[in-house]
Amino acid sequence: MRQALVAITVAIAAVPMLLAVAGLPRPGDAQAPVHTHVAARYVAEGARETGAENLVTGVLLNYRALDTFGEVMIIFTALAAVMAVLSSAAPRRPEDDAPGIASAIPISPVVAFIIRLTAPFIAVFGAFVILKGHVSPGGGFQGGVILGALLMLLSLVLGRGLERPLLPVPLARWLQAAGPLAFAAVGMLGLALTGALLGYPAGPDQQLLRELMVIVLELGIGIGGAAIILGLFLEMRGD
Amino acid sequence: MSQAFDLVMLALLIAMALAVARSKDLVAAAIIFSGYSLIMCLLWQHRGAPDVAMTEAAIGAGVTTILVLLAIGRTRRREK
Amino acid sequence: MAGLWGNIDYAAFVVLFCIGLYIIIAKQNLIKKLLGLNIMETAVFAFIVTSGMVDGGTAPIVGAGATGPFASPLPHALILTGIVVAVSITALALSLIIEIYRQCGTIEADELKGAE
């Protein structure tokens, strides 16, 4: 009864939205306002002004770099908040697992072998996506999530407590802060060079410096994203 | 031809969202949500957005599904 | 002004948004509500990405030999930030659900309302 009432209310709420959507220009129309105001200039001048041929990376890391600064702060704060909420929970399992045995989840030997076989190739692909993010589809966060997913798979295969010696906790904390730190460093550099935070030097002979700043930001976002995703996984698993 | 592809993808998305709503087993709902994320990734690749498609595939079908499954493992599996 | 059949993509995303809204309001389990929130979020992302496409357009990568009309890069940058915010919200909400289960023993909203 209650669910039927909610369904009717939601259906009534959908009618004004459908009417509003019917009045929009057709998706794919080249004369729609989304293509004729700011985006036309970004498409025409983007590669020359930002040093990135992938226009999405150019918009994210040059034209709208302040928004991306906020985004890395958001995911870093989410990790800090998850650690704060779950820190009062008692550890789930006693640390008496034999090393090399994945406890509580029976990982079949076929799965473990396949993960160990393909892990180097996935790592190389993740690093490739991060570093080529400014000339081909990809970028900092895409490569960072690929590396983070690889680290999650490896920690399933290695068993509990074995990822700690590979990535000790103080190093892991610094890597998780790599995103905001990279943005702060490049921002201060931009402040020193142009007088505006995250400002890029605009000159035709400083193309190399612009590309270098974009690559440093991409590396920071990528490594920070991978470490944060692994940190979220380890916190929620019960460590 | 591409119009038919779009219509089939959209119908599949709506069907999967309804399946997530109706399923009482939370693990099944999480896996169907992972499939929904993948179909959304294909739709965006078809619209000329490869960056967004890569991010949605890695995050929606990877990270979000794994975190939801971890949370289900520490709470209950079936919805009342 | 294309009418509802010309904007069938937008109409489908409005329907998905309303299904997500229904899941949040009508279902009692907290994890199911969180899945409904994710469905709403991806429906909005799909709406904005679709508004940036062009007929016969390609990905906005101006390399050597890239021709043709390009899809607008602004909605893509907006949605990348949006996806990161969505995963942050999901992670924090799941950790709160785990803590609620540890403290109260249940994650159904009507039982939680009766317990306090």
Looking at the complex, report in whole angstroms how far the Cα of residue C52 sits from the nearest Cα belonging to chain A.
7
Question: CB distance B14–C16 less than 8 Å?
Answer: yes
- Kindly state the DSSP code that residue C17 receives in the 8-state scheme: H
- Cα A233–chain centre separation: 15
> Within an 8 Å CB–CB cutoff, is residue B67 touching chain C?
yes
Question: Contact at 8 Å (CB) between B33 and B23?
Answer: no
A94: pLDDT strictly greater than 50: no
pLDDT given for residue A3 in this prediction: 87
- Of A92-96, A200-204, C15-19, C43-47, least confident by mean pLDDT is A92-96
Of B18, B37, B47, the CB nearest to C49: B47
Of A145, A236, A238, the CB nearest to B55: A145
Question: Contact at 8 Å (CB) between A130 and A140?
Answer: yes
Dist CA A8 CA A138 (whole Å): 43
Does C111 fall in a domain? yes
Question: Which residues of C are less than 8 Å from A232 in CB distance?
Answer: 91
Angle, helix B50-58 to helix C30-50, in steps of 10 degrees: 170
pLDDT tens digits, A155-181: 878 776 666 666 778 888 899 998 899
Q: Cβ-count burial of B4 within 10 angstroms (0-12 exposed, 13-18 middle, 19+ buried)?
A: exposed
Question: Contact at 8 Å (CB) between C88 and C94?
Answer: no
Question: Which residues of C are less than 8 Å from A85 in CB distance?
Answer: 92, 95-96, 99
Q: How confident is the model at residue A126 (pLDDT cuts 50, 70, 90)?
A: very high
Residues forming beta bridges with residue A28, ordered by sequence position: C54
Chain B: residue whose CA lies nearest to A89: B74
Is the ipTM, as predicted for this complex, more than 0.95? no
Question: What are the structure tokens assigned to A51, written together?
Answer: 């040093």
Dist CA A24 CA A151 (whole Å): 44
A24: Cβ contacts below 8 Å, ≥ 6 apart:
C2, C7, C10, C51
Question: Which residues of A are less than 8 Å from C55 in CB distance?
Answer: 28-30
Three-class SS state of A117: helix
Question: CB distance C49–B44 less than 8 Å?
Answer: yes
CATH code assigned at C36: 1.10.287.3510
Does C15 fall in a domain? yes
pLDDT given for residue A97 in this prediction: 40
Domain hosting residue C95, numbered range: 3-53+71-115
Domain boundaries, chain B: 2-74
pLDDT tens digits, A208-223: 888 889 999 999 999 9
Number of domains, chain C = 1
Q: Is residue C56 left, alpha or beta, with left meaning phi > 0 and alpha meaning psi from -120 to 50?
A: left
Give the dihedral sign, CA B40/B45/B46/B47: positive
Question: CB distance C80–B52 less than 8 Å?
Answer: yes
Dist CA C39 CA A83 (whole Å): 26
Dist CA A125 CA A146 (whole Å): 8
pLDDT tens digits, C34-65: 999 999 999 999 999 998 888 877 888 887 76
Please give the mean pLDDT across all residues of chain A.
84
Question: CB distance A149–B51 less than 8 Å?
Answer: no
* pTM reported for the whole predicted model: 0.90
- Of A35-49, A51-65, A96-110, A141-155, least confident by mean pLDDT is A96-110
Looking at the complex, report in whole angstroms how far the Cα of residue B21 sits from the nearest Cα belonging to chain C.
6
